[in-house]
Structure 1
Amino acid sequence: MSDVLDRFVRYCKVASQSDETKDPTNPDNIPTTESQFDIANVIADDLRELGAEDVSVDEHAYVICHWPASEGLEDLPTLGFCCHIDTAWQSYGSPVHPQVKRYEGGRLLIGTGRDGKEVWIGPETNPALEHMVGWDLVTTDGTSLLGGDDKAGDAEMVSLMRRLKDDPSLRHPRLAFAFVPDEEIGHGAALLDLDKFGAAFGYTIDGGPLGEFCYETFNAAEAVVRAKGLSVHTGTAKGLMVNAAETLMRYNELLPAQDRPEFTENYDGFYYLSSVEGSCEEATSHYIVRDHDKAKFEHRKQLMLDAAEYLNERMGRQVVTVTLRDQYYNLADVILRPENSHLIENARKAFEKVGQEMRCIPMRGGTDGSQLSFRGFPCANLSAGYYNAHGVMEFVPIPELEAMVDMLVELVGLYAKPQVAAGEVASATEE
């Protein structure tokens, strides 16, 4: 196995799902699962073995380390990289049995699911497989997700350090690395100590297929809708009963049906009903609200409040309440500032150096970079090389896994000199 493949397989075997039932705004809940300490410590041990500096694992399972600058480049700004150590909660995540399978075209049987049915991938599910004939893929065995999101990124970051250790001639500034918990439930880098991290700007490595690049994300909020009903014997309920569960059904019907995830794409925003539970007396539903456009995002949140007010007026009492919490904002608001243009252009150049065209996509989600950028650490998102994330059909092509390490080597090399902001090139030439 190559270095990055070996690390990736080892990391995937350490189950580390986050727990969506715990409140991520309460620091006492972070990490939401003890298993995240398991993977944090595995990674930290690898970092220490490589000779990384300042390796630490804090009480919330954040791993931070640094890699020293090449001789003569100590005064350049520190370049940072960030990945998350948790895996998605939406599918089975333990135990994880990664395997390497050769793709020969057509359908590839990867295993048997927990329901006894065959699990396969092919061009019908992923057209990109048509150019992967003859490639080795890391897949699940059909019983769990793989965890490429984001253990591919974790392995790539550590393997970058291995490359730099093995070849001191590769020039680069001081590098900072962070491995953070609970990204999959919207927490991620919220408690990352940016002073200790010490990077001026950088990248998350948390995107999909090789070459994807993201500087646009959703604006995101979560909404908790609660209904308080009144239970009365069904034989004498007329004019008295208030059914909380049915009230939430009526509430959901007031939201635009066409604005659900299954009917949207590209820059379309949506409302997503992620869970609902309750009875006649009490019921609760959870939503996530997403839109790339900030004005439309605010309108969506207001519509949810208006729908509750409408129902309460119709019912003549306070039955429905809505609690909204913003989670992150559109990364583009920070990355498109002229002083951060190098994050886009250097990524493009690094991909070109490894023979890959960069594709800028509007991410229909968020990354740790979404919140980090608004905390003062401009941070765009690079591909990690995974496909079919969050499910049993997940796979990572080994050539893309290895190519991302090549790309990162090229990228840090581009930061081995001072960066020029957009708009400064012309004036510097004139002078």
Structure 2
Amino acid sequence: MTEIDPDFIETKFIEYCRYNTRSDASSQEVPSTPGQVKLAKQVVQDLAKLGLKSWYNAANGYALGFLAGNSSADVSAIGFFAHLDTADYPAEGVAPQVHPDYDGQDVVLNAAKEIVLRTAEFPELRKLQGQRLITTDGTTLLGADDKAGVAGLFGALKALVDQPELKHGPIYVAFGPDEEIGQGAKRFDAGEFPVEFAYTLDNGQPGDIEYETFNAAQAVVEFTGTAVHPGDAYGLMVNAASLANEFAAALPRDEVPEKSQGKEGFIMLVKQSGTVDQAELQFIIRDFDEQLFAQKKQFLTDLTAKFNARFDQPRVKLTLKEQYANIGTAIKQNPYIVNLALDTYRKLGLTPNITPFRGGTDGNFLTAKGIPAPNLFNAGSNFHGKYEYVTVEGMQVVAETVVTLCQEHVLQTGQRNEQPLA
């Protein structure tokens, strides 16, 4: 029976939440903010205190650790990732509020400002009655995304170190920066992480697993007009702003985020600017299916050509930029990675919930670097704002899942569950 120390997990979570690690997309520094460096270096020290080999990579801002295996079986190394940065929301002076034996009712976060975490608005709260709930004080985010994953992983490492009867293979852990701005894992050095596969411990509830993400691209469409005095415009003026509006209106009306769900993709207009002389549209393109993803990009290419055919010179320029690829393509080639997690969930009595992730994770960049990395969960909720919360019990489940998964990896040596994935 694995013993997970809830007080240790709570202490680490609250300690780490108090670091301001808000990332900054406008920064040119690596990591993008100094608070991430401070926390990463503290994490390195804390890993060493647990008995792991640990180090900080100043080139990319990662804190890394290694725990040698203690099993006689020939077990491949596996890895776990959690990110240290928080989203673009106030993060200075985070003051976590602990509500022991939560009563399942509304929680007053800040009486002076009349900020209340209401069960009518967030009914999932009622399921947490009796647990140790941690919330914000209503003035900042909490940082559960992803410090709940960080604390849960630390709880697992402590259990593995303190209980040598828990057999496991080599384990690598990485705590990274700038996940919220999509930059951290791009810089990750896979050479420091010689694992067969890994898991990210990011958003989601116990039992969740995400091994498919969007394929993603950005499209920038530039329009060049001819600006003349409107009184003399007949036959001369080409209004770039009007062309941009017409282009945007020509896109499929139902293939937008607000009308899509599940594995349905979309083309989303995210920014529009322009004058008569120059205009620009920025789109993001998303789809789980590679063929449909390609069709969406081709649609924009064909639409650009159609518009240019109306003029004696090119007036519309399309620039496509690939952002990330669906991790499911690589992971389905080695279904053991997902089946191992599902077998672990069942052993723990968790109901598996396989969901396609309608976005991207660090796992997209890690998978592209040769480290297939589906996402499990961190047990937090209401991320990126003042209503964030998590329970100590939820983070315990994160820790129990990591420990049991490592044990299961040993038990399945030589007899892997390679059942194909849907």
Alignment TM class, shorter chain as reference: 0.7 to 0.9
Quick one: distance in 2 between partners of 1:183 and 1:69?
29
Q: Determine if contact 2:70/2:169 at 8 Å carries over to the other structure.
A: yes
Q: 1:81-230 alignment to 2 at 5 Å? A: 81-89=80-88, 91-101=89-99, 103-111=102-110, 118-125=115-122, 127-230=123-226
In structure 1, the residue matched to 2:407 is 413
In structure 1, the residue matched to 2:364 is 370
CA drift of 1:95 comes to: 4.4
Quick one: distance in 1 between partners of 2:135 and 2:208?
20
CA drift of 1:104 comes to: 2.9
Please, what is the CA RMSD of the aligned residues? 2.8
Deviations 1:59-98 (A, max 9, x none): 220222211111535x421111112222223x44444333
Quick one: distance in 2 between partners of 1:152 and 1:381?
14
CA drift of 1:117 comes to: 6.8
Quick one: distance in 2 between partners of 1:261 and 1:108?
32
The match for 1:248 among 244, 252, 266 is 244
In structure 2, the residue matched to 1:58 is 58
Q: Quick one: structure 1 residues 53 and 232, their matched pair in 2 at CA, closer, same or farther if it must change by over 3 Å?
A: same
SS at structure 2 position matched to 1:160: helix
Q: Determine if contact 1:123/1:129 at 8 Å carries over to the other structure.
A: no
Q: Determine if contact 1:112/1:143 at 8 Å carries over to the other structure.
A: no
Q: Determine if contact 1:112/1:142 at 8 Å carries over to the other structure.
A: no
Does 2:32 match 1:35? no
Quick one: distance in 2 between partners of 1:308 and 1:66?
51
Q: Determine if contact 1:44/1:57 at 8 Å carries over to the other structure.
A: no
TM-score w.r.t. the length of structure 1 is 0.86
Quick one: distance in 2 between partners of 1:147 and 1:257?
36
Does 2:51 match 1:46? no
SS at structure 2 position matched to 1:325: strand
Q: Determine if contact 2:44/2:54 at 8 Å carries over to the other structure.
A: no
TM-score w.r.t. the length of structure 2 is 0.87
CA drift of 1:393 comes to: 2.3
The amino acid across from 2:205 in the alignment is P
Quick one: distance in 1 between partners of 2:178 and 2:287?
22
CA drift of 1:239 comes to: 4.8
Q: How many residues align?
A: 413
CA drift of 1:205 comes to: 1.0
* Gap regions ≥5 residues in structure 1: 23-27, 425-431
Quick one: distance in 2 between partners of 1:392 and 1:248?
37
In structure 2, the residue matched to 1:382 is 376
Does 2:363 match 1:361? no
In structure 1, the residue matched to 2:15 is 10
The match for 2:338 among 328, 334, 344 is 344
Deviations 1:365-407 (A, max 9, x none): 1222223223322222111112122333222122111111111
Q: Determine if contact 2:267/2:286 at 8 Å carries over to the other structure.
A: yes
Query: Which range is displaced more, 196-205 or 186-195?
Result: 186-195
The amino acid across from 1:84 in the alignment is H
Q: Quick one: structure 1 residues 314 and 234, their matched pair in 2 at CA, closer, same or farther if it must change by over 3 Å?
A: same
Quick one: distance in 2 between partners of 1:285 and 1:12?
38
The amino acid across from 1:393 in the alignment is Y
SS at structure 1 position matched to 2:220: strand
Quick one: distance in 1 between partners of 2:62 and 2:211?
24
The amino acid across from 1:149 in the alignment is D
Q: Determine if contact 1:220/1:290 at 8 Å carries over to the other structure.
A: yes
Q: Determine if contact 1:342/1:420 at 8 Å carries over to the other structure.
A: no
